Chains A and B, each alone.
Chain A
Amino acid sequence: MSNCDMERPLTAHIRPGQPPFDLKHYEQVGGYQSVHKALKQLSPGEVTQTVKDSNLRGRGGAGFQTGAKWGFVPMGAAAPRPKYLVCNADEMEPGTFKDRHLLEGNPHQLIEAMIVAGYAIQAEVAYIFLRAEYRRSAELLEKAIAEAYHSRYLGQRILGTEYSLELYLHTSAGRYICGEESALMNALEGKRATPRARPPFPPVVGLWGKPTIINNVETLCNVPHIINRGAEWFRKLARGTDAGTKLYGVSGRLRKPGLWELPMGTTMREILEEHAGGMCDGYKFRGVIPGGASTDFLVEEHLDLPMDYESVQKAGSRLGTGTMIVLDDRTCPVGMVHNLEMFFARESCGWCTPCRDGLPWVEDILLAIEEGHGRERDLEILRRHCKWLGPGMTFCALAPGAVEPLQSALKYFENDFKQHITDRRCPFRELA
């Protein structure tokens, strides 16, 4: 962690290497204040309005306005019941480990957030949908949820108010597609984890056909702080037009790979050079996937980009989860992309044709090129896949995300691909 004197609401009470605060300790540092405030002083509509005003955007990757999403939930006596709140903690994006930090570091912060969010939409039931492999998080969450029930933050008539909420932890069976919110709902209902069609959108027709809000862990964890300190404070945390702080992560051949809570809009160069300490000796920066595996490569010329939704999008990629994977000059881009596509091909749910049958073909071709069996026309086949697996062609966003690193690799590292094909071998093999 860097020691600059900036505000870090999300991670302020996380002590790396030490167990998270228990409920009592968490309360002592101001935990659960937002629950008291929201449930006793604010109407659900006021909570939603505050979140709208804060300009909080979804930290799961899509960047949708959180308050606006909540605003779609039918409210009032005629609204369908029960309503559901789901925390998407199925963090499976390669290179991404930000939610894990929040879950393991301060589970009570998430529970606090879910009570407030649940109150805002008047949900009766909430679920945390947790990635299968996050066993440590599961243990800590179980314990924290039990504490919260014990202290009447959960269950019937929370803190003596009219509001009741049941919170369940659901550990996933483990598929990437479960992180796609509609597939997540199917999985939670015990069905095959295939995405649903939209419209209807989950705030209207969600879990078991009822209104449902699904928010990412990091998104939700911002909520208590917004309620406690106000929308304007939150907006001002950021450097650019987007609001709040952001957990940025870096992996690759850097001196200090890691995770930092920084103002939204911090530049990539600052993150890589100041916080991650720059490239390891003997390695040069070649490119970066800025927001998890399903985002386009950016290169040297983009290093001064502020890492916020709009800036990264303008540069041709996506902020995604804000956790970067850095490609160096001694690692084969073809091999890297093959590794990513292997993942995406495996994690395709098998629902729609382009994704199900296109991605394994892409994987096969990339492996062939990497192993020196590639042919000139393979690049054309890859390019066609980048086009035909794009947005709108497939049922959900998995395949469009999967081809983002491929299409940008073909753009920025085309010569590497060609060299593999002409030399009939991977030129990086002896460098490794």
Chain B
Amino acid sequence: MATISIDNQPFETDPSKNVLQVALTVGLDLPYFCWHPVLGSVGACRQCAVKQFKDENDTRGRLVMACMLPAADGTRVSIADPEAREFRASVIEWLMVNHPHDCPVCDEGGECHLQDMTVMTGHAYRRFQFKKRTFRNQYLGPFINHEMNRCITCYRCVRFYKDYAGGRDLNAYGCHNHVYFGRAEEGVLENEFSGNLVEVCPTGVFTDKTLKNHYTRKWDLTTAPSVCVHCGLGCNTIPGERYGQLRRILNRYNGEVNGYFLCDRGRFGYEFVNHPCRIRQPLWRKSAGGALEPAENDDLLQHLGPLLANRESVIGIGSPRASLEANFVLRALVGRERFFNGMAETDATLVAEILFILKDGPARSPSLHEIEQADAVLVLGEDVTNTAPRMALSLRQAVRQEPMKTVDALQVPRWHDIAARDVIQENRGPLFIAFPGATRLDDVARRTYRAAPQDLARLGFAAACALDESAPEVPGLPVEAQELAREIASALQKAERPVVIAGVSLGSKALIQAAANVAWALCKQGKPCALSYVTPEANSIGLALLGGERLSTAVRVVEEGAAETLIVLENDLFRRAEESVVNRLFTAKHTVVIDSLESGATAKAEAVLPAGTFAESDGTFVSSEGRAQRFFQVFPPQPRVQESWRWLRDLMATAGRAESSRWQALDDVLAAIGEELPVLRPIIQAAPPADFRVAQQKFSRAPRRFSGRTAITAHADVHEPKPPEDADSPLTFTMEGCAAPPPPALISHYWATGWNSVQALNKFQSEIGGPLAGGDPGVRLIEPMEGAKAAWFTDVPPPFTARAEEFLVIPLHHIFGSEELSILAPAIAERVPKPYLVLNPADAQRLGVTAGDEVGVQVAEKECRLPVTISAELPKRTIGLPVGLTGLTGISLPTWGKLEVTAS
């Protein structure tokens, strides 16, 4: 520890920090622009100037930048020094030379760091009397709006986009007071993390274009802590609503999970909540073959009650995208044996395997923050940029860990970004990517290995064997794969914090087991190797913890006539199983589907109950890390819509099940879960209960400056309506609430006096860039067994062998396109590729096909014609088929398929 003096007040601090970090950590206000907690210090904006004094006798001092000054023991600075103040005001004055006075029409207005810092420094009157410089703006795609005239040249955008996120198409151009941040030419920003520019930019240069389409000021947004629903990582979000419409998503800081950043799917996928295909009222098909028609809630429930009264004839199909609470109430309604988890068949197998490995094995599942700290990484058969996008951003930081050792050796502070990058240059730590195609992380990988899924698994098994001779051998492995396996083993062994990553996206159990063998081999040597599995959906792991039978069993039960009534929870089964399989399920006599959006499943149902989306519901998801996290209603659902778990509870009630009367609020359901499933009991701790109060008060969803409450309905009635009540959480839907900062799981917006932008987050952390005050939210449900000595997996698959007439069809995931809900958001839809298939050039040549030709493909029961893309990265005798695109849903991959080439 070091003691530094700021304005003659002593502060204890970690000397590895800089003075700006320390000042902000202890709650002092010191303005800054170019510095960012994770992007580090570059000393460009000169805004955080303080006066430094040599010692107590030094009265003159000299101005230095706090962000560039190590917090070494005995450092003496003054923020209040008149010269320092004057200089800081001058910096704002310079920035304002060219900054337009367009705050009233600027989307950033009201949550603008530049506004805040301007007020903080006290600069108010313009002395500059000459012409401002102007720029032309660019079209940057559906996510980001560009307004360069507002730029204050802090360089944060390119430092995030290029240096941190590995983007290549945003640059600084020009020089002197004419530096331009944009693309070489207009066009869509390619990087999957471009949306973070909205928060990284301290003013209104890069703003959220989707918000612009239905703009609302920050102070008029109602916001709540939420969790992203678009993959399994469980990034924390802050969705904002006005007039019943979701307007945008902001990052919600969680030091262990997503930190400061989200992926573009998570940020811009939200508009499915506002989709015209939302189901807004119960629907009832009164006669078979008739149409679904609007129905009264009571009529429909009364109709369904008797059907559900006999539990033995009802089965329920849960969903990996529905909350634990909803799945649990469904399970309670139908009984444990008649609850089916609703995952795709392969996913169910693989997620169960993952759960077994993480629960019974010695390797721990790392948080994203831990992955960021890894100094050697093996990715076995996962294109994380497209299946768990935020993890790719963490891996881009992980490759800097090993070279950081040189930075440390030179005694360059890690926060000193310029110096650290000058030292590191293009050096990257070990990252090995094994995947049957190119991935977006290849540019930072030490080695890539392209092969069919089972050959990737063989590489993994071989690496495990190279680490530990007792692990199963891989007979017949090609020499170059053997060498690579040894290289991987050696790099992981040398590392202090190795991580192995695999997942379900290639549908290969062997990959998952191979990854476990590698991690376990290291654990056996006492090396704390973390093992991360990418799971497909927001609650895949939660659902696996809850249990439930397979979909195939459900089909059998229905066909055996043992299920008259089928209840489907938030699940478009046509995306998870072959059409024929789902159709067989829907032969049940009565079918009830609870969901928020029209789907193939709702179209077949007898009764459809309108569910709230994540934004209109409370609940718990368990992320792929095994972290249970609570999400809260952002706004109450429309009157005839309610949370899935409430529909299910109502169904229980109408079926005469007494226990449902106990489930009035979310906490009642949580308590029931805890009672019945000890493994899930800790989820109660994921957030404070609904009766949690500070100073007898709840916490507000609306910010203090919310202006619209009395005006919203004034055209109809000048009386102020009673605000909706929330029995499920300690949050109010209004601006009334406790003024003190909420516990971390309840943070619905960042605001502090003088800090209106997202940078107010500083005031919520226990240490700048560290955990939130009170700890990062979420509870880990899965920890490795103490002293576990899991036996090796020994099912080493044989090498991939081609078939004469068939191709192995490999699933290729797309960040924009493969996920069910986000593709309904117009901005995401613009980025979804057109369906295609990929062939290796050798196969293409053999078939006489060139890029762009249409070929017929027959996979499982699907037949379609698709244009061909050719990629040498794809293994021979395989076909790459994008997952989830229009016409390509409901195909279980990998599988064998046929190509039909006809002359066009």
Report B-chain residues with C-beta under 8 Å of the C-beta of A384: 90
Least distance between B854 CB and chain A CB atoms (Å): 43
Q: How far is the CA of A176 from the CA of B418 in the complex (A)?
A: 21
A205 and B175 within 8 A (CB): no
Least distance between B31 CB and chain A CB atoms (Å): 12
Known A200-B410, A393-B63; contact A354-B177, beta-carbon cutoff 8 A: no
From 70 to 118 in chain B, residues with beta carbon under 8 angstroms from any chain A beta carbon are 87, 90-91, 94-95, 97-98
Q: Which of A177, A347, A353 contacts B94 (CB 8 A)?
A: A353
Most chain B beta-carbon neighbours within 10 Å: one of A175, A196, A361, A384: A361
Q: Which of A177, A196, A350 contacts B422 (CB 8 A)?
A: A196
Q: How far is the CA of A358 from the CA of B730 in the complex (A)?
A: 51
Report B-chain residues with C-beta under 8 Å of the C-beta of A200: 410, 412, 419, 422-423
Known A354-B90, A361-B130, A393-B46; contact A197-B419, beta-carbon cutoff 8 A: yes
Binary CB contact string for chain B from 407 to 446 against chain A (1 if under 8 A, 0 otherwise): 0001010001011001111010000000000000000000
From 44 to 68 in chain B, residues with beta carbon under 8 angstroms from any chain A beta carbon are 44-47, 49, 62-64, 68
Report B-chain residues with C-beta under 8 Å of the C-beta of A395: 43-44, 46
Answer yes or no: A204 CB below 8 A from chain B CBs: yes
Report B-chain residues with C-beta under 8 Å of the C-beta of A321: none
Least distance between A129 CB and chain B CB atoms (Å): 17
Q: Which of B47, B176, B418, B422 contacts A356 (CB 8 A)?
A: B176
Least distance between A385 CB and chain B CB atoms (Å): 9
A352 and B45 within 8 A (CB): yes
A354 and B176 within 8 A (CB): no
Report B-chain residues with C-beta under 8 Å of the C-beta of A197: 42-43, 68, 416, 418-419, 422
Answer yes or no: B178 CB below 8 A from chain A CBs: yes
Least distance between B147 CB and chain A CB atoms (Å): 18
Answer yes or no: A346 CB below 8 A from chain B CBs: yes
Q: How far is the CA of A353 from the CA of B177 in the complex (A)?
A: 9
Q: How far is the CA of A70 from the CA of B614 in the complex (A)?
A: 64
Report A-chain residues with C-beta under 8 Å of the C-beta of B43: 197, 352, 395
Q: Which of A350, A358, A392 contacts B63 (CB 8 A)?
A: A392
Report B-chain residues with C-beta under 8 Å of the C-beta of A357: 94-95, 97-98, 153, 177
Known A196-B419, A353-B47, A395-B43; contact A208-B95, beta-carbon cutoff 8 A: no
Answer yes or no: A349 CB below 8 A from chain B CBs: yes
Answer yes or no: B127 CB below 8 A from chain A CBs: yes
From 167 to 223 in chain B, residues with beta carbon under 8 angstroms from any chain A beta carbon are 172, 174-179
Binary CB contact string for chain A from 157 to 194 against chain B (1 if under 8 A, 0 otherwise): 00000000000000000010100000000000000100
Least distance between B289 CB and chain A CB atoms (Å): 68
A381 and B63 within 8 A (CB): no
Interface range, A side: 35 or more
Q: How far is the CA of A37 from the CA of B427 in the complex (A)?
A: 38
Q: How many contacting A-B pairs (Cβ < 8 A)?
A: 107
B44 and A352 within 8 A (CB): yes
Known A393-B87, A395-B44; contact A209-B425, beta-carbon cutoff 8 A: yes
Answer yes or no: A345 CB below 8 A from chain B CBs: yes
Q: How far is the CA of A384 from the CA of B90 in the complex (A)?
A: 9
Report B-chain residues with C-beta under 8 Å of the C-beta of A377: 127
B68 and A175 within 8 A (CB): no
Q: How far is the CA of A204 from the CA of B406 in the complex (A)?
A: 12
Answer yes or no: B800 CB below 8 A from chain A CBs: no
For residue A355, which residue of chain B has the nearest CB?
B176
Answer yes or no: A156 CB below 8 A from chain B CBs: no
Answer yes or no: B243 CB below 8 A from chain A CBs: no
B94 and A196 within 8 A (CB): no
B177 and A360 within 8 A (CB): yes
A350 and B412 within 8 A (CB): no
Report A-chain residues with C-beta under 8 Å of the C-beta of B44: 351-353, 395
Answer yes or no: A364 CB below 8 A from chain B CBs: yes
For residue B45, which residue of chain A has the nearest CB?
A353
Answer yes or no: B692 CB below 8 A from chain A CBs: no
Q: How far is the CA of A364 from the CA of B177 in the complex (A)?
A: 13
Answer yes or no: B128 CB below 8 A from chain A CBs: yes
Q: Which of A175, A205, A392 contacts B64 (CB 8 A)?
A: A392
From 321 to 361 in chain A, residues with beta carbon under 8 angstroms from any chain B beta carbon are 345-354, 356-361
Least distance between A398 CB and chain B CB atoms (Å): 10
Q: How far is the CA of A351 from the CA of B45 in the complex (A)?
A: 8
Least distance between A421 CB and chain B CB atoms (Å): 14
Q: How far is the CA of A394 from the CA of B94 in the complex (A)?
A: 13
For residue A210, which residue of chain B has the nearest CB?
B425
Binary CB contact string for chain A from 271 to 289 against chain B (1 if under 8 A, 0 otherwise): 0000000000000000000
Report A-chain residues with C-beta under 8 Å of the C-beta of B95: 353, 357
A209 and B424 within 8 A (CB): yes
Report B-chain residues with C-beta under 8 Å of the C-beta of A361: 94, 97, 128, 130
Least distance between B699 CB and chain A CB atoms (Å): 38
Least distance between A308 CB and chain B CB atoms (Å): 27
Most chain B beta-carbon neighbours within 10 Å: one of A352, A377, A381: A352
B62 and A392 within 8 A (CB): yes
A348 and B416 within 8 A (CB): no
Report B-chain residues with C-beta under 8 Å of the C-beta of A26: none
Least distance between B236 CB and chain A CB atoms (Å): 34
For residue B416, which residue of chain A has the nearest CB?
A197
Report A-chain residues with C-beta under 8 Å of the C-beta of B153: 350, 353, 356-357
From 357 to 385 in chain A, residues with beta carbon under 8 angstroms from any chain B beta carbon are 357-361, 364, 368, 377, 381, 384
B422 and A209 within 8 A (CB): yes
For residue A396, which residue of chain B has the nearest CB?
B43
A349 and B175 within 8 A (CB): yes
Least distance between A247 CB and chain B CB atoms (Å): 30
For residue A365, which residue of chain B has the nearest CB?
B130
Report A-chain residues with C-beta under 8 Å of the C-beta of B424: 209
Answer yes or no: A388 CB below 8 A from chain B CBs: yes
A350 and B87 within 8 A (CB): no
Report B-chain residues with C-beta under 8 Å of the C-beta of A351: 44, 155
Q: How far is the CA of A158 from the CA of B44 in the complex (A)?
A: 44
Report B-chain residues with C-beta under 8 Å of the C-beta of A30: none
Report B-chain residues with C-beta under 8 Å of the C-beta of A348: 175-177
From 194 to 226 in chain A, residues with beta carbon under 8 angstroms from any chain B beta carbon are 196-197, 199-200, 204-205, 208-209
Binary CB contact string for chain A from 391 to 406 against chain B (1 if under 8 A, 0 otherwise): 0111100000000000
For residue B127, which residue of chain A has the nearest CB?
A381
Known A192-B172, A345-B177; contact A354-B419, beta-carbon cutoff 8 A: no
A346 and B64 within 8 A (CB): no
Q: How far is the CA of A80 from the CA of B91 in the complex (A)?
A: 40
Q: How far is the CA of A354 from the CA of B44 in the complex (A)?
A: 9
Report A-chain residues with C-beta under 8 Å of the C-beta of B174: 350
Least distance between B823 CB and chain A CB atoms (Å): 38
Report B-chain residues with C-beta under 8 Å of the C-beta of A345: 176-177
B177 and A350 within 8 A (CB): yes
A388 and B419 within 8 A (CB): no
A205 and B422 within 8 A (CB): yes
For residue B43, which residue of chain A has the nearest CB?
A395
For residue B171, which residue of chain A has the nearest CB?
A192
Q: Which of B45, B130, B425 contacts A364 (CB 8 A)?
A: B130
A205 and B130 within 8 A (CB): no
Report A-chain residues with C-beta under 8 Å of the C-beta of B49: 393
Most chain A beta-carbon neighbours within 10 Å: one of B49, B97, B175: B175
Q: How far is the CA of A205 from the CA of B418 in the complex (A)?
A: 12
Most chain B beta-carbon neighbours within 10 Å: one of A204, A351, A353, A361: A353
Most chain B beta-carbon neighbours within 10 Å: one of A175, A204, A384, A393: A393
Between A and B, 15 residue pairs with Cβ closer than 8 Å are A196-B418, A197-B43, A197-B418, A209-B424, A345-B177, A346-B176, A348-B177, A352-B43, A356-B176, A357-B94, A357-B97, A388-B87, A388-B90, A394-B46, A395-B46
Known: A209-B427, A352-B44. 12 other contacts (CB 8 A): A205-B412, A350-B153, A350-B172, A352-B46, A353-B45, A353-B152, A354-B94, A357-B94, A357-B95, A357-B98, A358-B94, A393-B87
Q: Which residues of A contact B (CB under 8 A)?
A: 175, 177, 192, 196-197, 199-200, 204-205, 208-209, 345-354, 356-361, 364, 368, 377, 381, 384, 388, 392-395
Shortest 4 CB-CB contacts between residues of A and residues of B: A357-B94, A350-B179, A364-B130, A209-B425
